[in-house]
Amino acid sequence: MTISASTPLLNMRFSVEVEGLRGTGAIEVVFPEARLSVGARNGRRARYGPLCLRRGIGRSDDWYAWWDEARQARTARARNVTVTLLDESGAAAHRWTFRRSRPVAYSLSNLNALGNEALIETLELAVGGFEMSAVSTSTRS
């Protein structure tokens, strides 16, 4: 099978890095919506919805600790978040960098004694802006 530049990439291969935190183990990323708004004072301005990261909760409390720091401090520590989409060979294909991200919500899925599913931790982030870049490789045609 020949893979061309127009072959769609699948949404299941990705990695997430949060500045200053060890591996995130994210299993789902909900990208923010980006809209342009026009105002008399500011001209054109981009506005961004929240970036949501989800993972199965493990022994690390780093997401909760960042959320807790944000709710207790006057100014939450901003971190850059990078989401990298991987191609079929596992190489980086696209990269989104969300600048100045700060926690605005934290939640856990329900516990259920009759279930057998991972407990999911969700971290919702406000983003200050983002860029997307295609990662070029010499193996793509």
For residue 99, what are the domain limits?
A: 14-134
Write the CATH number for 40. 2.30.110.20
Q: How far is residue 103 CA from its own chain's centroid?
A: 12
What is the C-alpha end-to-end distance of the chain, expressed in Å?
Answer: 13
What average pLDDT does this structure show over 113-136? 93
Q: Would residue 82 count as lying in a domain?
A: yes
Residue 123 has pLDDT above 90, yes or no: yes
Domain membership of residue 6 (yes or no) is no
Output the 3-class SS for 48-113: ECCEEEEEECCCCCHHHHHHHHHHHCCCCCCEEEEEEEECCCCCEEEEEEEEEEEEEEEEECCCCC
In a domain, 9, yes or no: no
Quick check: 14 and 96 in contact, CB under 8 A? no
pLDDT digits (tens, 9 = 90+) for 13-62: 999 999 999 878 999 999 999 999 887 676 788 999 999 999 999 999 99
Confirm whether 91 is domain-assigned: yes
Q: Do the domain assignments include residue 141?
A: no
Q: Could you read off the pLDDT of 55-84 as tens digits, one per residue?
A: 999 999 999 999 999 999 877 789 999 999
5 part of a folded domain? no
Domain count, the chain: 1
| Whole-prediction pTM | 0.87
Residue 1 falls within a domain, yes or no? no
Q: Is residue 2 part of a domain?
A: no
